[in-house]
Amino acid sequence: MRLEGKVAVITGAGSVGPGWGNGRAAAVLFAREGAKVFAVDLKPDALTETVRMIEDEGGTVRTHTCDVTDSAAVAAMVEACVAEFGRVDVLVNNVGGSRPGGPVELGEQDWRAQLDYNLTSVFLTCKHVVPVMKAQGGGAIVNTASTSGTRYTGSPQVGYASSKAGVIQLSKVLAVQHAPDGIRANTVVPGQLHTPMVEVRLAGQRAGGDVDALLAQRQARIPLGFMGDGRDTAYAALFLASDEARFVTGTEIVVDGGMTARCD
């Protein structure tokens, strides 16, 4: 029980479809490891299966609907968690999504939306959670970025890549600034995983709706020869959130099957 007695706020804890997205996997795993989970999502229905899975295993979970790009809504979410559980020991930021297009193709409104969705959301949750952690003597923040924020991974998506790169640097700045407060901040950097997002969104963007073709294309880039899923991201987040990582802050764990280590 690596998170016994801890309270974990997990954003994007629902899922767009069946399977293991990063948020759902983190919520279920953290509850399994003893955390009281405050599961946050924009769509209440997306949390239904997450809650069922946690409760079936005897875990503790409460849900909250929140637009994490809205500062007032995020402040209210954090207040609700503190009112329910008394503290916030762990914050895991899992909200994110991509839009295709380079600087020419991507519309200016879509560019701003990508920054808000992928980066401002992390900024706002940290803005409102850090004072709580500071007052209670510390905590752990785990932000989810993407290998798109460190490499060109095969598709022009400049808004997503730029915002995910920003998440990595935001974590570093936060880690150094608030180390004296006992707050650690790190980033998980997933590669091309097989999450529900592949079927629901990415196949339509990149493979004309052909899921099998997209899966084959993505898998071909991975030296290990198979794709992970949200559970692999969740296990990395679990380590960073736990006391086992007490001397780990301001860094990243890449979860990509070796993809970004390749030369081609």
The enclosing domain of 71 has a CATH number of 3.40.50.720
C-alpha to C-alpha distance for 81 and 75, rounded to whole angstroms: 10
Tell me the C-alpha to C-alpha distance, in Å, between residue 161 and each of 58, 154, 199, 229, 258.
38, 11, 21, 20, 19
Convert the pLDDT of each residue in 144-181 to its tens digit: 999 999 999 888 999 999 999 999 999 999 999 999 99
Query: Would you say residue 125 lies in a domain?
Result: yes
pLDDT at 264: 58
Per the CB < 8 A criterion, the answer to whether 123 and 69 are in contact is no
- In-domain check, residue 237: yes
Q: Is 152 a catalytic residue?
A: no
Whether 260 is covered by a domain: the verdict is no
Q: Which of 117, 152, 160, 235 is catalytic?
A: 160
Range of the domain at 172: 7-254
Is residue 2 one of the residues assigned to a domain? Answer: no
Euclidean distance between CA atoms 230 and 139, whole angstroms = 23
What's the structural domain count of the chain? 1
Q: What's the CA gap between 174 and 101, in Å, rounded?
A: 30
Least confident of 63-72, 162-171, 255-264: 255-264
> What's the pLDDT band for 215 if we cut at 50, 70, 90?
confident
**Which element (helix H / strand E) includes 161?**
helix 158-178
In a domain, 158, yes or no: yes
Asked whether residue 262 is assigned to any structural domain, the reply reads no
Is residue 99 a part of any domain in this protein?
yes
Q: Which residue shows structure tokens 């995020």? A: 74
Q: What is the pTM of this model?
A: 0.94
* 206 has pLDDT over 60: no
> In this structure, is residue 88 part of a structural domain?
yes
Q: What contacts 253, CB < 8 A, 6 or more positions away?
A: 186, 187, 188, 189, 236, 239, 240
